Amino acid sequence: MEDQESISFLTQQQAAEIDDLLIGHLGFSIDQLMELAGLSVASAITEVYRPSKYNSVLVVCGPGNNGGDGLVAARHLHHFGYKPCICYPKRTPKPLYAGLVTQLESLSVPFLPIESLPHELVNFNIVVDAIFGFSFQGNPRPPFDDLINSMASLREHNHERQKSPAIVSVDIPSGWHVQDGDISGQGIKPDMLVSLMAPKLCAKTFRGPYHFLGGRFVPPSIIHKYKLQLPPYPGTSMCVQIGKLPQVNLKAPIPPKLLEKNVEANPFVQFQIWFDDAVAAGTNEPNSMALSTASKDGKPSSRMVSLKKVDQGGFVWCSNYGSRKGREISENPHASLLFYWNILNRQANVRIEGFVEKVSDEESEQYFCSRPREIQIAPAVSKQSTEIPGREFLQQQCKELEEKYLRGRSMIPRPQHWGGYRLLPERFEFWEGDESSVHMRLRYFAQDVDGKKEWRIVQ
């Protein structure tokens, strides 16, 4: 994550000038910039709010470009697995906007009448504020003034985050002054701000937990002309997180998650909620887990593996079947998994115990094919847990294989000794602790009821 201190912020005039340059000399069209902006917003939302938990999204669109960004974002969110709805009370009669509406209608994305909001806002998991962008000046007029007030009061309405939608603002929280921010103090307080191109000055006063930058299209001539300092985008990502996570006051009590009302009857659902929290908090490699196995004479061993998938059947990872863990599992299928996440000073761990079985060949094939090509090479040469003449020996073997397959442009076949394992849980233990030394524990035990697996909960 980039430190906000080292990033450039734009005035309203600079933002307008850069827009003109992009669309003038630099050959961009509004359609292109809008597409990239909307895709960035949808990508940033996906980074933090998983569709499994935050499925229903309301996108509130204003009459200008910001509203267009919202329409594009809604289309991408639909394809990413969310269920978006649109509120677009002042439609712009230009072909670009009419086309975006047609695209959404063809996906059966509903357009809601403005009268049905503000009461309905609380029923959404996410509300995207795409009403006004950086060219807005003055005070919001009807019908947007009421909508903005309703969004602003969402935070006061309900402080229990699960029941109140997350608010995501596109470029500028609507109603804020582009440079001075929320002057009245009564404006929208978004949870996420997605700045586009470069953050505008008002973003300096943004206090929500997630600030992202999107719009990965700024050419070097603009960067030089305006002496812009912008963070690099990771890999092929359309967005990058900027700004620090909010500092947690260690003395303030951290609300425990494991209150009775927060306990799910199904431990897989409970797991998914904690996992999503760990992802949202930016935990490093939240899918890393310690796997403990034991030999047939009960001697234990542990190592880290990466969770590939969790479904109602169990927890899947991939490995070398001939490794030490592979040998131990074949002798003794009992194993235990342990996740540990430090979520903003809430330490959480989940222990899962059960039986391990190999996944089907077809499933292993799928996991193998989903790996990038260069990573497919490693299992083909790796003889895990065995002695080798040295690191160079393995590197040489990788090189030879790479050349062989790259030359032939053929598929790298899955080695028979590589595949997936699934742990079928019999028992879960969720534990959390914080600075106040108040520790909570929640256990689930599988029991057979008339041939059906049911979960007994012990707190």
Ligand X SMILES: Cc1cc2nc3c(=O)[nH]c(=O)nc-3n(C[C@H](O)[C@H](O)[C@H](O)COP(=O)(O)O)c2cc1C
Q: Residues near 401 by Cβ (< 8 Å), separated by ≥ 6?
A: 377, 380, 381, 412
What are the angstrom distances between the C-alpha of 311 and each of 268, 314, 315, 334? 8, 5, 7, 19
- Residue 397 sits at the vertex; the CA angle it makes with 407 and 287, to the nearest 5 degrees, is 95
Would you call the peptide bond into 256 cis, given omega within 30 degrees of 0 as the criterion? no
Nearer to ligand X, 4 or 385 (CB): 385
Nearer to ligand X, 211 or 325 (CB): 325
Residue 390, marked binder: no
Residue 136, marked binder: yes
Residue 3, marked binder: no
- Smallest distance, Å, CB 376 to ligand X? 14
Q: How many CB atoms lie within 10 A of CB 361?
A: 12
Q: Name which of residues 283 to 302 contact ligand X (CB under 6 A).
A: 285, 288, 301
Query: Does 306 participate in binding ligand X (rule CB under 6 A)?
Result: yes
Residue 139, marked binder: yes
- Smallest distance, Å, CB 272 to ligand X? 20
Nearer to ligand X, 14 or 293 (CB): 293
Note every long-range contact of 310-316, with CB atoms under 8 Å and residues 24 or more positions apart, other chains counting: 310/268, 310/271, 310/272, 310/275, 312/268, 313/422, 313/424, 314/354, 314/422, 314/423, 314/424, 314/425, 315/289, 315/352, 315/422, 315/423, 315/425, 316/359, 316/363, 316/367, 316/420, 316/421, 316/422
Query: Does 305 participate in binding ligand X (rule CB under 6 A)?
Result: yes
Nearer to ligand X, 4 or 384 (CB): 384
Task: For CA atoms 130, 134, 136, 139, give the dihedral sign.
Answer: positive
Nearer to ligand X, 267 or 326 (CB): 326
Query: Does 149 participate in binding ligand X (rule CB under 6 A)?
Result: no
Q: Name which of residues 311 to 340 contact ligand X (CB under 6 A).
A: 317-320, 323-325
Nearer to ligand X, 56 or 384 (CB): 384
- Smallest distance, Å, CB 315 to ligand X? 12
Q: Name which of residues 384 to 403 contact ligand X (CB under 6 A).
A: 384-385
The binding site for ligand X (CB under 6 A) comprises: 285, 288, 301, 303-306, 317-320, 323-325, 384-385
Task: Enumerate the known binding-site residues for K(+).
Answer: 66, 129, 174
Task: Enumerate the known binding-site residues for (6S)-NADPHX.
Answer: 65-69, 133-139, 171
